[in-house]
Amino acid sequence: MYVMDTEGPGRALPKLFYIAPVGSECCSPTFTPDGASVFVSIQHPGELRLSDNEDATTMADAGTAWPDFVEGMPVRPSLIVLTQDANNSVGS
């Protein structure tokens, strides 16, 4: 996920903000009204094998153990929240 300023000298310059787990995608970012937090859906984590970038066919083949990182727990989609704690908008 990338962020960028909408005004000022950095306007339209993309900056890397968050990297989703291997083989997944960030979807449906939604901000709180004050701009302090953003909710992001993480879809399709672990669908790719790290060894050859092909579809994973078992849990052992998954490119990640998102979100629990506990052996035996399945990889699954999740909703995360990213929060700014310095009285700024997320991404600034």
Q: Model-level pTM?
A: 0.78
Q: For residues 41 and 80, what is the distance between their CA atoms, to the nearest angstrom?
A: 6
Picking from 44, 49, 50, the residue whose alpha carbon sits closest to that of residue 25 is 44
Instruction: Tell whether the model's pLDDT for residue 89 goes beyond 70.
Output: no
pLDDT band with cut points at 50, 70 and 90 for residue 85: confident
Rounded Cα distance between 83 and 75, Å, is 24
